Each structure stands twice: as structure tokens, then as C-alpha cells.
Structure 1
């Protein structure tokens, strides 16, 4: 296959902190770290390593995941029989075409994107690691141009560049950018934090001096250099941005549609501490703000899962019988804002909350001054790894189904499978897991029979963003899938979901490309029938007949199908 497109930018090294010692992103380099259980200090309550013979490749070519595992850092590789002993250089495609490839890497473990139009140009802001962003002109997706970029060192005092939502505010006649700011989630002083074995972690997090909340910018141009800071808001209602605040700030993407209401994932104070996960102290819920005056956001209400706060343990039905509680491994609470198919202002009443090991909740947000939950269901246990992270709502108004998933954290599939669950929310008071989406499988011509053998992580990592441009297409849900690249599910018959297309790039272009996250994200342009795929070696623009012919230029303008 010939890939068209610019070669601007060049592959750049991962700028994420080193979790300790030499970081080797691939098991094929001499200094790669390999997993030995005796190298890790464990504490009472953590899941045990699975017994040999209870998991792995089977005689029929299938892979049986472990039933449970402890957490293992992402740069530590787990060897097991049947893995490929080389970096797979092949590309696999079904009903999908790479329209362009650009060897640009902002951050290999994860990166974020937002797309917006200004003055006849479509821009993509691509950022990661908290200290690196690039701005692209993607008006012609086959000729991406780097417009601006900035990167700064870890010791630089400027705030980290957090998860950002860009929306047009009709009332003010301008674009606004709302940017999350949170306490360190994983790393402290360049190492993975572990509050269960290091008694300095709690103090470092409690005394962290940055903003715990969100920033609002008026966008005087497409580049962050053109943005004007108009507000800093702490999610701690009792302390301002110039003080040491409580809680963890805003996690990941602020949910703002450009009108009145903003929803953020947050733990607003230091009572929200019933958190088994080792690297953070807080268990987050959700808060709503009135953004009528974006210079003075007004807190309307806060919701959390009962049992999240110290002192609520005995009365919480969400902890009673939950085998994750006190396992020193599971993530409790939100990692993202609430999920909705459209805004409250447009008349949508419900929001869907993935609360990690606490389960899946349906929230009534029709009155944002009184967020409350009306429905809940447990999610199947899958420890280690992230549970209850993402909710895809693109099909809910047509079918009554949402799609709930976590994602892998241990490398080399050394954890239970991370599934995508189809959840029936047609009765919002009684959400039900009705089926599991099929496991993506490699084609017959591959030299392996399960994507797990390709090494690295394998499993879903979100279906893009609520800011994916345009109107979602009925019956199609794309996911980033790590070692399995881009997997596109055909749910036109929601009772019989299947993989309808995929595009799986090489595991890297060099042996030392980071294999822990071969493909870590996607952004969907529904209005141009394109899916942007972000890998450890660059960016792909992918089309599929399931979406239709890709569009060049701005939607609705003098556009043409890419050819």
C-alpha cells in the first residue's frame, strides 16, 4: 500500500517522565525491562500474579487472558510463549484506506486532539505530555501542514497544557477554550507514585501548588499563542487558585458545548479519598458550572458516587459486595467528564458516567443545579487495568444503547481482557449490560492468530471525543485499539454487532518505538468521513466505505472526494 501525504515534522522522542531508571519502549532493545514478580513490592489486598498454565495461548490458537493480575508499569514487558519475537512491520486493512501518513509524534503514551474551523481553514490542535503542542492545517487531509508548535522542559514553571475543549460561543461571537488542570495522576519526581509503599506520596499530592480546576481562554486566533486567559477556576470551593487547594482538579476533557453549561470530572476536596488506586488520593465525581459569563463561572452542583468520601463506607451500596474495594489496584471514580449525545441546552436530559470500579451510572442533568443519579449497573470485574473509562453515546438516541469500556494498563496483555459492553439505557432507571462486543481478530494471512501475540497493549482506548466534528453516522463506532490499530464496529444491527473494518499499522518503524501504546487514540471527522489515527510512529488519516467518501476542504464548501 502506498501512503500519500506530507512528511513534515519527523518522529520525536517520548517526552513523558521516566517511571524509574532507563525507559525502554520496546522489548526488542537491549535495555528493555522484563517483568519479574520478585522485583515488585506488593501489599496486602493486591491481586496475585496468576498461576502458570491458567492463561496464555491455547492449542487452538486462541488467547486466554489472566483472570486477575497486579498492576505492572507500562514500560515493563511480560514475556510469554507464543508472542512474536520481532516487531511486526506489517499493515493490515479491511474496508479501510490510509489517505495519508505523517511521521509526527507529540507523545507516545497518549495525546489529545481538538479540531476547529477559523477563517476558512480547518485546524487540528495536537498535544500531549503536558508540555508539547502542535497546530496543523488539515483543510486538505492529504497535505497536513504544521502551522505552529511549542515544547518546554519538565522543569519549566509554566502550567501544564491540559485536556482542552474548543467551542464556538454564539452569544459572545468567539471561540472559547476550556482547559483542565489536575494534580499529578501517575508520576511524582519522574517516577510512578505508589501511596501504599511510599509514605511521602500523600504529602506531595496534598501540598501540590498548581491549579486544581480549569482555565478559560478567549481565542483570538487558532494558535494557543493567540489565546487570552480570562479566568482560572478552582474546583475547590473553599480555596482560590493562588492558594494550595484541595481535591484533584479537573480530570481529562471538560464537557462544554459552547453555550451555558460546563460539566467537569472532579473531587472537590480532601474528603474524597476512598480510592484504591496507588498513584492518586482522590475519587472523582462530577460538577456543573454556569458559563453564562465565562469570566466568572458559577458552581451549580456536585455529584459523586456514595462511598467516595471518607466516612461514607458503611452506608454505601456501591462498596458493599464490591470485591475491588481495598484491592490497592482498581481505579474508583471518573476519569473523564460525563458523556452525552448532545447538550442539555438542546434538550437532552441524561448524562452517562463511567465511574471506574464503582460502575456505570445514569445521571439526570436536566437541571444542572441538581445533578442526581437515576440508574446504576455493575460492570464485570477486570483487574488490573482501567475499568469504566469511556461511554460511547453516538447510537443511544436511535437504539437506546451506549457502549462502555475501560482500557489496558499492563503491557503484553498481562491483565484480564478489556471489553466493550453494550448497555441498554432505554429505561434510564434500570441500565443493563446486554452483551459484549466481539473480540477483534487478525486476518488469516497474519503470522499470528490473536492480536495479543503482537505484544504491547491490546484493547479499546476510547472512540474519539464528544467534540468529534459533524453528526455521528448511525451504526458505526470506531475505536483506537492499541496493537490492533483502528477497529471499526458495525452496529447497524445492534443485536448482532461485528467488526466491519479495521486499519492496523506496523507496531512501529524502529525497534525502539514505544510498544506499550502502538495506537493510542483517534479523532473522528464525521462531517468529512475521516478518522485520524495516532500511533507511536506517526499520524494516519483513514477512510472507510462505512463512513462514505472522504471529503477535502471544509464541509459544505467547495469540497471534493479524496482520490
Structure 2
């Protein structure tokens, strides 16, 4: 499962690989959560999600795979306490009617039928009991008409927050879910950018080649910060979960490249880190950036800097996708810092930034895993290039990263860098 090649990075600075797992032969990984010594990884190409024993970070061991019904994506998931929440969504890469590039160009609601007639996939959210971390048991399912859920934010308690495409909308919107009874979650409210509710007669005022869709929102207290792909950034007041309100909508695409993916508030410093996602090879979709905003007034976010772009190699011509994808989201039950930021950078691996001076962020560590030996990605003409996808940092500072093809890596940074 691990060998010298797998454990030797292509590039490393102030960081090293401790262990690797091929995830039971399903090397494709997207979101990763770690709880009680076990990692839970959602898959993109091989259906379902998997459990991995990471109690020994040098010998992570595949435990079990949980397939999902039909052509269903479950690439995103959340853990808190003894609960695991998993998305169910139409697998857009197995739909003969939607080309890969079309998924990111324009509204998905214009390309597929979301009326509920397609029975080839499951749409909604599954809830698992993980008291026995190695053996999750499904205890609930929330069906949701339409395309299904894309991503979830859940940190315990009564409320979960999801992005989903219900019938009548042009693309994914913000939905709040009541988790009072985990066996029977219920959506209670919705919020969207004006122009997305086609059923109500709203008409988009943006270029149809752009995709206005909520990737997801991160919630800190009563403030939700949403990343809307080409639709930019919103801040939202969720103090009344049954009636969320838009505080601001800021979009910097154009002139910049768009693809807003994560929006992580750091409330103790009145800062917000916004990550964009690169989705095409060789910078076809432009240079994607990581932004730092001042949110002293959440209704008026102000951009104050960007994080440095990796320059230790010519990643723009390396092949594959060069640009950010995900950020460690400072969840409860994980490492939390308002000074140190972890960002996956696809063909440039993982990047770690110090933002103590938010006007002059600097990179302090990096690691680029080796190229995968085989591809799980079934799309034609894909290069064998590393694609570091998601990152989770546990309470002890161990770093877990996934790849579209190369499995799960566990990393550690040099002593003192996380202080």
C-alpha cells in the first residue's frame, strides 16, 4: 500500500509525508473528514465513500467502502460527534448529455431535467451513526427533489447548511436543514442570488456562459459566507434560520477569473479568506486566486490582499489543473487557526500560508506528492498528474490530503510552524 515512490514527494518545504493509503483500490478522493482515528473520504469516479483507519498515521489502512445508489455522487461529507452526513447528487460526469466542461459553463438547470423524473440516481442527504467509527450505520435520509446536494456544512447541533439544486432554480442555492431529529432531517428555508428562481419568473442578469451556483457556505455563529462560483461571494445573516437574509454580494469576475469555491471567515480577526477553484487544464479558465477580505462590517467585505501563487516550479505548463481547490475550514474537532491557512493547489500540491500580517501573506510550507501510477479518472486523455483536492488538519496538527487519483496522504509540518 505504501512504497518508497509513494512516500517521496516531488517537492517539499518544511513538510514531509508520513503515510499513504490507496483507499482500497479507489484512489479517487474529494472531501476528507477525520474523527476518532478514522478518515471518511468521498469519491468522485468510483461511487460512494470509504472509511480508513488512520490511528497509525504511518500505516493508514482501508476499512470499508459504502456504495451509493445508481449514478450518484457522494464526494462531499461532514462529521461531528457521532454523526456523519453524506451528500447524494446526480453524478454529472456519468451523464451522457452533459460534457465535462459544460458542468462549469453556464447554469446546470438549463442542461438537465431536475423535475424528479430521472430515477437513475439518489438526491438528498444520508445520515450515519458513527459511534463505532469503523462501522457507520445509516440512520436517516433526507430526500430533496432535483439534482441533489452538492456540499454540506455541519458542526453539530440543530442546523445543517447545504447547497442544492431544487426544481425551478437555475443552479445550486443555499438551504438550511433542521437536524433536531437526525433520523428525519428537514429543510426549513432557502436563499439565492436574485435571478436564480426561474420558476418564479426571475431572469438572470449575468452572462449565460458564467455559472452562478452556490458551491457551499461556511457558517461562523450567525454569519454565513457563501461561495457562488462565477457569482462571487455573499455574506448572509442566519440568526433566524427560518428566514436567512442577504447582507452583501460581491463579485470580482470579471475582470478576474471567477470560480469562487470556499469562503472561510476568521471572526476573531474580522477577516475572510476566499478560495477560487481551477477547473480546466493549462490555465484555460484563467489564473485562480486566494483572496483576503476585511469583514469588520460583514455587509461590506473589502479585499485587502491575495495569497502568493506557487512559483517554485512552472506549474502552468506542468499539465493538469494549476490553481486552488479547497481550504482547511477550521472546523470544531480539528486544528483551528486564524493565522495559518492550508490550501490545496491541485498540480502544485498543498500550500501553507502565514497571514499574521493580512496585507502581506507569505507561504511557509508546501508539499507536492508524486504523480499517480494509475488513473481513476475515466475521462478521456487525462494526464497522470497529481491533483491535490482537499485538506483536513486534525487537532494534533497532522495533515490529510486527497487526490483525484492517488489516494490519501498523511503529512506533518516541521515543529514550531503551527504555533
* Pairwise CA distance, 1:401: 1.4
Number of aligned residue pairs: 404
Is the contact between residue 322 and residue 348 of structure 2 (CA under 8 Å) also seen in structure 1? yes
* Pairwise CA distance, 1:441: 0.8
SS of equivalent to 2:304: strand
Match for residue 32 of structure 2 among 92, 109, 113:
113
* Pairwise CA distance, 1:137: 1.6
Match for residue 392 of structure 2 among 499, 513, 524:
524
SS of equivalent to 2:129: strand
Structure 1 alignment gaps of length 5 or more: 1-5, 12-88, 169-174, 236-244, 274-282, 342-347, 443-448, 551-563
Q: Aligned partners of 2:227 and 2:301: how far apart in 1? A: 12
2:18 corresponds in structure 1 to 99
Q: Aligned partners of 1:204 and 1:417: how far apart in 2? A: 32
1:483 corresponds in structure 2 to 347
1:221 and 2:132 are equivalent in the alignment: yes
Match for residue 401 of structure 1 among 267, 271, 280:
271
1:498-553 Cα shifts (integer Å, max 9, x gaps): 11111112334479995376133233334111112223334332211376589xxx
Is the contact between residue 357 and residue 387 of structure 1 (CA under 8 Å) also seen in structure 2? yes
Q: Aligned partners of 1:375 and 1:219: how far apart in 2? A: 37
Q: 1:213 to 1:369 in 2, by over 3 A?
A: same
**TM-score (norm: length of structure 1):** 0.64
Structure 2 alignment gaps of length 5 or more: none
Q: Aligned partners of 1:391 and 1:145: how far apart in 2? A: 32
**Which deviates the most, 537-546 or 300-309?**
537-546
1:375 and 2:248 are equivalent in the alignment: yes
Would you tell me which structure has more strand in proportion to its own residues? 2
1:259 corresponds in structure 2 to 157
**TM-score (norm: length of structure 2):** 0.84
2:310 corresponds in structure 1 to 440
Q: Aligned partners of 2:142 and 2:197: how far apart in 1? A: 22
1:128 and 2:26 are equivalent in the alignment: no
* Pairwise CA distance, 1:462: 0.6
Q: 1:368 to 1:517 in 2, by over 3 A?
A: farther
Q: Aligned partners of 1:526 and 1:547: how far apart in 2? A: 16
2:262 corresponds in structure 1 to 390
When the two chains are superposed, the root-mean-square deviation of aligned CA atoms in Å is 3.4
SS of equivalent to 2:305: strand
1:334 corresponds in structure 2 to 214
Is the contact between residue 167 and residue 177 of structure 1 (CA under 8 Å) also seen in structure 2? yes
1:32 corresponds in structure 2 to none
Q: 1:206 to 1:132 in 2, by over 3 A?
A: closer
Q: Aligned partners of 1:107 and 1:412: how far apart in 2? A: 26
Q: Aligned partners of 2:215 and 2:367: how far apart in 1? A: 27
Is the contact between residue 398 and residue 411 of structure 2 (CA under 8 Å) also seen in structure 1? yes
Q: 1:104 to 1:250 in 2, by over 3 A?
A: closer
